[in-house]
Amino acid sequence: MITAIWYVLRTGCPWRDVPAQFGPWSSVYTRWRRWCAEGLWAKLLALLARGARGELRHLDCSHIKLHQHGANLPGGQAKHAIGRTKGGINTKLAAVVDAYGRAVALGLAPGQQHDLKAILPLVPALRGKRAVGDKGFDADNFRTLLHSTRTHTCIAPRRSRRQPPPFHPGYYRRRHRVENFFCRIKRFRRVSIRYDKLASTFLGFVQFAAVLDWLSHVV
């Protein structure tokens, strides 16, 4: 069953095209929906995240294009973290990774939502650490929120600031590790393009890919 789900994750094929040696496609899909509803992949990721290493927590967001098969949604697109930008209809994936680029927390938001709002549900994963982010996260209210959770900041200031807050260039140079994380999980076709209508099932695929990344990524 796990191999069949991995096959769909890797190839991005429709559920009906799952090879017969994996069993009935409907059984694979039903099990997948059940596991997503129970939050299995979120629990596995949370368990692995306990082993996160280093003081730094890199945060960023990435856009994921929506395939036309996932466009017709029950309850509307906004309910399932889908929005419209200049690049078309897409979903925004927010991530917090540890010092070695392994996922600690993941979330979805509509594509047009600002990175600051998309990352807010993941703030608890930054508690007591040092948050490293780009200029998109340079906002006084966000810095205040992080400080209230005893989180240090290493966020590049905007050029428009008259008195830019200090940040550590050495820590900031390591911010590419969250970008590397996005590149690794987008090797899975089911993550690089969103085919799923439901936010819960698509997030399940992202979390499954992150779990595999934890198990295979060499530190």
Cα–Cα distances (Å) from 5 to 50, 60, 133, 184, 209, in that order, read 25, 27, 33, 18, 11
Residue partners of 154: CB distance under 8 A and separation at least 6: 56, 130, 131, 132, 133, 167, 168, 171, 172
Tokens standing for residue 57:
């927590």
Contact 133, 64 (CB under 8 A): no
pTM for this structure?
A: 0.91
pLDDT on residue 218? 59
Q: Count Cα neighbours of 50 within 13 Å in the Cβ-side half-sphere.
A: 6
Q: Which residues of the chain have pLDDT under 70?
A: 70-78, 218-219
pLDDT on residue 76? 66
Task: Report d(CA 131, CA 143) in Å as an integer.
Answer: 10
Q: Give the closest residue to 119 by CA, choosing from 73, 166, 76, 155.
A: 155
Q: Count Cα neighbours of 64 within 13 Å in the Cβ-side half-sphere.
A: 33
